[in-house]
Amino acid sequence: MAINVPTGMNVQALMMMARVRAMQTLVNCLNIVKDECDKGVPVDSGELRESIRIESPKWITPFLVEGKVLAGGGNVPQAWYTEYGTNAHGPVFAQAMHFNWKGAEIFAKWVQGVTPMHWMRNAVTFAIPRIQAEMGLLAKQFLGTYTVTLTKRGL
């Protein structure tokens, strides 16, 4: 897809077109990562999958854009635990820990912890070729496919 530049267009408008196209590409890349994260969620309750979201991308400087794919939050702490793991631990203020696991009520004085699964890191690694393809397409558009067309105002 070429970016058509009408004759007589000012530089600010051209820069805005480039910024919009760069932001569209970033959003596409973030969606690619989010899709891979959705596929790799290690917990089957659905809460973790539903917590995966894209933070609105923003311009940091004229040449730097930031975007994030996030998982977890206040009600979904397992995102951190499944990604980075936990150490063996026991209760802090009680005699036993109490939790539900696969429908069973559990009381435990000590648990081994969770092995890190790195499911978000793996999703990003798996998405890199698709992201590189998106960025390559953007680079081709910016580095030589500008076409100047004579257009009538108002069309």
pLDDT digits (tens, 9 = 90+) for 26-78: 999 999 999 999 999 887 778 889 999 999 898 888 778 899 999 988 788 88
Tell me the C-alpha distance between 55 and 52, whole Å.
10
How would residue 154 be classed by pLDDT, with cut points 50, 70 and 90? very low
- How is residue 147 written in tokens? 């076409």
Residue whose tokens read 């393809």: 133
Query: What pLDDT shows up at residue 129?
Result: 94
What's the predicted TM-score (pTM) here? 0.74
Domain ranges of the chain: 4-86+118-149
